[in-house]
């Protein structure tokens, strides 16, 4: 039992260390975001990242695809933090998530080998991006172009695991988004916010599907 917990605990510690490092790099490379977040936010993001790293270690074990999904957790938490605070999904971070995912999943496919999974990942990214793009055109007040672009890397990771992951990840994003909207309405005394960040819901749904659906 102890041996089975070693990897998740080590990864959780890694998440605690990588989270503040990533925030420092983001603050330096994207000064328009306003610098480092508050100490409370940094503690929260570090705790969430550590939890996700541990759960992903438990989910995948020592496997070729593990580094790719750790990157998803690390950048996904940061993107959620930024979108929640600023209603913004920086192109640089979204492209880093997409490009890093392509490289790491490509390495995983070469080591497995799992080229069909990589092809499905590419198609999954394309399908989820196209679906969000259509919805964004139909209802631009509900989805921003940042959400549409974020759908591509999320679809990539979900597609690597399977088509049902793409389906459930895409659908659950809207369910989680609805729940978050209701919570925000209650916290703001039923005053409807001008804009609700959808990125955190997309990331939470994708990571939830990755962890639960096999």
Per-residue model confidence as pLDDT tens digits over 85-133: 999 999 999 999 999 999 999 999 999 878 999 999 999 999 999 999 9
How many structural domains is the chain composed of? 1
- For residues 24 and 182, the model is more confident at 24
The pLDDT, as a whole number, for residue 177 is: 86
The pLDDT, as a whole number, for residue 114 is: 82
Whole-prediction pTM: 0.93
Query: Is the confidence at residue 194, as pLDDT, over 60?
Result: no
The pLDDT, as a whole number, for residue 1 is: 42
- DSSP of the chain: -HHHHHHHHHHHHHHHHHHHHHHHHHHHH-GGG-SS--HHHHHHHHHHHHHHHHHHHHHH-S-TTHHHHHHHHHHHHHHHHHHHHHS---HHHHHHHHHHHHHHHHHHHHHTT-HHHHHHHHHHHHHHHHHHHHHHHH-TTT--HHHHHHHHHHHHHHHHH-HHHHHHHHHHHHHHHHHHHHHHHHHTTTPPPS----HHHHHHHHHHHHHH--
The string of pLDDT tens digits covering residues 74-96 is: 999 999 999 999 999 999 999 99
Of the candidate ranges 28-32, 101-105, 124-128, 150-154, the one whose mean pLDDT is the lowest: 28-32
- What would the two tokens of residue 121 be? 């990942």
Query: Is the confidence at residue 196, as pLDDT, over 80?
Result: no
- For residues 25 and 5, the model is more confident at 25
Query: Is the confidence at residue 43, as pLDDT, over 60?
Result: yes
Give the pLDDT mean for 124-144.
92
The pLDDT, as a whole number, for residue 183 is: 78
Range of the domain at 177: 2-212
- What would the two tokens of residue 152 be? 């591509």
Omega before 113 within 30 of 0, i.e. cis: yes
The pLDDT, as a whole number, for residue 9 is: 96
The pLDDT, as a whole number, for residue 105 is: 97
Predicted confidence band of residue 195 (pLDDT cuts 50, 70, 90): low
Predicted confidence band of residue 187 (pLDDT cuts 50, 70, 90): low
Rg (CA), the chain: 17
The pLDDT, as a whole number, for residue 189 is: 53
Query: Is the confidence at residue 6, as pLDDT, over 50?
Result: yes
């Amino acid at each position: 039992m102890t041996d089975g917990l070693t990897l998740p605990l080590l990864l959780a510690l890694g998440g605690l260390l990588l989270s503040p490092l990533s925030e420092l790099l983001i603050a330096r490379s994207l000064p328009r975001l306003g610098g480092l977040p508050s100490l409370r936010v940094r503690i929260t993001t570090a705790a969430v990242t550590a939890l996700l790293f541990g759960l992903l270690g438990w989910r995948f074990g020592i496997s070729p695809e593990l580094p790719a999904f750790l990157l998803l957790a690390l950048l996904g938490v940061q993107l959620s933090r930024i979108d929640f605070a600023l209603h913004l999904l920086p192109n640089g971070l979204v492209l880093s998530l997409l490009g890093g995912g392509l490289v790491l999943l490509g390495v995983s496919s070469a080591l497995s080998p799992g080229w069909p999974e990589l092809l499905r990942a590419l198609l999954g990214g394309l399908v989820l991006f196209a679906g969000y793009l259509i919805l964004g055109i139909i209802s631009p007040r509900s989805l921003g172009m940042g959400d549409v672009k974020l759908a591509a890397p999320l679809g990539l990771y979900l597609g690597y695991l399977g088509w049902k992951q793409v389906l459930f990840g895409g659908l659950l994003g809207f369910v989680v988004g609805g729940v978050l909207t209701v919570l925000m309405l209650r916290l703001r005394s039923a005053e409807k916010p001008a804009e609700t960040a959808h990125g955190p819901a997309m990331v939470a749904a994708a990571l939830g599907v990755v962890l639960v659906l096999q």
